[in-house]
Amino acid sequence: MCGIIGYIGSDNTVSRLIEGLRALEYRGYDSAGVAWYDGGMRVVKASGKLDNLAAKLGDAQTTGIHAGIGHTRWATHGAPSDTNAHPHGTPALQLVHNGIIENYAALRAELTELGYTFQSDTDTEAAAKLLDYYYTVEKRSPLDAISRTAARLEGSYALGILFADDPLRLYALRSGSPLIVGLGEGENFIASDITALLRHTRDYYQLEEGEIAVVEQENVCIYRDGVPVEKERKTALWDVQAAERGGWPHFMIKEIHEEPTAIKATLHPRVKGGLPDFSGERLDTSVLAKVSRLHIVACGTAMHAGLIARGLFESLAALPVTVEVASEFRYNNPLIDENDLVIIISQSGETADSLAALRLAKEKGAPTLAIVNVIGSSIAREADSVLYTWAGPEIAVASTKAYSVQTALLALLAVETALLRGRLDEARGRALVTALCEDAPLAVEAILDREEEIKALAASIAGCEDLFFIGRGAGYYLAAEGSLKLKEISYIHSEAYAAGELKHGTISLIVDGTPVVALCTVPELYGKMVSNIREVKARGANVIAVVCADADTNGIGVDSVVRLPQLCEELLFLPAVTVLQLLAYYTSVARGCDVDQPRNLAKSVTVE
């Protein structure tokens, strides 16, 4: 959530800031602003989309070397408005901020006593005024003022700072929220993530906790505890084409179509001789052979991927698994110890609740494994082991290919675990690996070839305001993800239920014309699902059934059928979720919604 960009160089600073902010739009925002030095400090802010800010800026130009900072804000403290938009500051400085300053109220009260006044409702302004106090009242150097400010701030934050009387430097501070320093030719940057910089550089430094960066046109110096430190220069594997739409109408549909390739990219390097091979990873697979229980902890779509994984680990490896939302795991005093393995799943590797859950697991002595997409992210760095999903950038707020590669990788890990624990013979293991690496991507491609069929189904539900997903077993876990995907981008109220639970109250909500999507993806439970379908049909539901390739649908009375390609039962979730993603996407398009940037949502939730 929120996005930071900073630039120093001889190009048009305003243009570079707007360009960087546009690349960060996917993170979610409701206002934006920029500050730059051009013979004096200039600040322009606007609520709403970046076009509003660009209109205010007009044809603003800079020549020579100029420093600037920009921000897209996702409101936490104070409603979206021009006043609450970042940057915030004083005549002496301006700063932009990602995260939450938890003690902002106490700081505001203290600073008010010192004579400061506040214009906004934000927590950020307290940090800006506190920095101003150390810089202008106590007359400290920029570096010392920033350090003293950081010592007073509580919470999670990343700051980009511009001082009016130090116009040839940018300053950046990271504590909790991610921040990088981009390394260009004759220019340098700060940014929330590398996607903001790919047009100009793929090289960067990853700021660690508590580090302060001083960024000049030709030089970068990073301090830890006031002492300069050497940093490893990193290079992003993504390129600018991967982070752009490339002719697709939205990032979401582009990323859905990338799923077959992404699944192969994630799996093929981890297979040798037809069997799983994690030998090149930061993972000691012997841990999997001896752990007594798995705890899978994640948020949102990643948590739903964990539910699929639970079924695989329990059925293939006979290994008990719990799956919990990270924000609840932290406060439920989880019963874990050194005999358990805690798996943290996060696309960004920066999800605040998941990162806190990881740290809690480590405090309790449990080994930890991260499954993330972003190399060098906080969760990846802090976990004992890490498996990268190698999916490339995912820009749309609604996660699609991340789910597919997370579940595919977890499936391969489940096969490896089952082999290590003697629960699966080699022949069966090879068959599952072949199905996962070869047959499953083809099955997803087969669904993508039937896009128009699913688009027509989307048109049939686009006018509704309530919808239900039902399923049993893995079908229920798919229902949860399908429901989340639909409601987050189409704004249709949607619920997912275990089909057997309908008669315990929910069926009272089924009235004539209510759409129900029935996930019939577990063959041995198909008869049970047919009974549940008949229950909702008896109340007038309009039923869309997603069924296995050979399912007999004669006489069950469904209104529409999506038949999945032939694939082993354990892996049917991969083509099935693509059906649900396409259904959500085309429903959102039909309703005229902002598919890639749904209201009130952020791509990476870096605050609790």
| Nearest residue to 348 (alpha-carbon basis) of 497, 212, 193, 569 | 193
Q: What pTM value is reported for the model?
A: 0.79
Q: Residue 429 pLDDT > 90, yes or no?
A: yes
Q: Residue 289 pLDDT > 80, yes or no?
A: yes
Q: What percent of the chain has pLDDT over 90?
A: 73
Q: Residue 157 pLDDT > 60, yes or no?
A: yes
The answer to whether the beta carbons of residues 514 and 487 sit under 8 Å apart is no
Residues 105 and 199 placed together within one structural domain of the fold: yes
Residue 602's pLDDT is 56
Residue 605 lies in a domain: no
Rounded CA gap, 296 and 203, in Å? 33
Residues 363 and 495 placed together within one structural domain of the fold: no
Please name the residues in contact with 555: beta carbons below 8 A apart, sequence gap of 6 or more.
none
Give the CATH number, domain containing residue 60: 3.60.20.10
Which value, in Å, is the radius of gyration of the alpha carbons in the chain? 25
Rounded CA gap, 177 and 150, in Å? 13
Residues 419 and 568 placed together within one structural domain of the fold: no
Residue 577 lies in a domain: yes
Give SS3 for 17: helix
Choose one of 448, 479, 502: the last residue of a domain. Answer: 448
Least confidently predicted of 58-72, 254-268, 539-553 = 58-72
Give SS3 for 162: strand
Size of the chain in residues: 608
CB-based contacts of 136-144 (< 8 A; 24+ apart in sequence): 136/90, 136/92, 142/166, 142/169, 142/171, 142/214, 143/171, 143/212, 143/214, 143/223, 143/226
Q: Residue 244 pLDDT > 80, yes or no?
A: no
| Nearest residue to 241 (alpha-carbon basis) of 201, 192, 198 | 198
- Name the one residue in this structure whose structure tokens are 């360009």: 19
Residue 97 lies in a domain: yes
Residue 603's pLDDT is 55
Q: Please state the rounded mean pLDDT for residues 223-227.
A: 93
Residue 176's pLDDT is 78
Residue 242 lies in a domain: no
Q: What percent of the chain has pLDDT over 70?
A: 97
Residues 496 and 356 placed together within one structural domain of the fold: no
Cα distances (angstroms) measured from residue 117 to each of 111, 125, 126, 189, 242: 8, 10, 10, 31, 45
pLDDT digit string, tens, across residues 351-371: 889 999 999 999 999 999 999
Rounded CA gap, 288 and 280, in Å? 16
Phi-psi region of 375 (alpha: psi -120 to 50; beta: other; left: phi over 0): beta
Residue 603 lies in a domain: no
Residues 400 and 491 placed together within one structural domain of the fold: no
Q: Residue 274 pLDDT > 90, yes or no?
A: yes
For the residues of 213-266, what is the DSSP string, one character each? EEE-SS-EEEEETTEEE----EE-S--TTTTS-TT-S-HHHHHHHTHHHHHHHH
Q: DSSP class of residue 437?
A: I
Q: Please state the rounded mean pLDDT for residues 204-228.
A: 94
Q: Which domain range does residue 341 map to?
A: 251-448
Residues 360 and 395 placed together within one structural domain of the fold: yes
Q: Total domain count for the chain?
A: 3
Rounded CA gap, 185 and 199, in Å? 12
Q: Could you tell me where the DSSP H helices lie in 268-299?
A: 286-290
Give SS3 for 118: coil
Residues 482 and 582 placed together within one structural domain of the fold: yes
Report the 10 Å Cβ neighbour count for 391: 27
Choose one of 448, 481, 503: the last residue of a domain. Answer: 448
Give the CATH number, domain containing residue 487: 3.40.50.10490
Choose one of 418, 448, 478: the last residue of a domain. Answer: 448
The secondary structure element, H or E, covering residue 462 is none
For the residues of 547-583, what is the DSSP string, one character each? E-TT---TTS--SEEEEPPS--GGGTHHHHHHHHHHH
Residue 599 lies in a domain: no
- For helices 474-490 and 573-590, what crossing angle results, to 10°? 20
Residues 470 and 371 placed together within one structural domain of the fold: no
Residues 405 and 457 placed together within one structural domain of the fold: no
Rounded CA gap, 314 and 298, in Å? 18
Give SS3 for 368: strand
- For helices 124-132 and 142-152, what crossing angle results, to 10°? 140
Strands 3-9 and 293-298: unpaired
pLDDT digit string, tens, across residues 440-460: 999 999 999 999 999 999 999
Residue 242's pLDDT is 65
Residues 456 and 502 placed together within one structural domain of the fold: yes
Residue 134 lies in a domain: yes
Q: Please state the rounded mean pLDDT for residues 160-165.
A: 96
Rounded CA gap, 307 and 304, in Å? 5
Q: Residue 519 pLDDT > 90, yes or no?
A: yes
pLDDT digit string, tens, across residues 578-594: 999 999 999 999 999 99
- Residues annotated as catalytic are 2, 603
Rounded CA gap, 362 and 132, in Å? 38
Residues 333 and 376 placed together within one structural domain of the fold: yes
Rounded CA gap, 372 and 390, in Å? 9
Which residues on adjacent β-strands are paired with residue 340?
A: 293
Residues 200 and 316 placed together within one structural domain of the fold: no
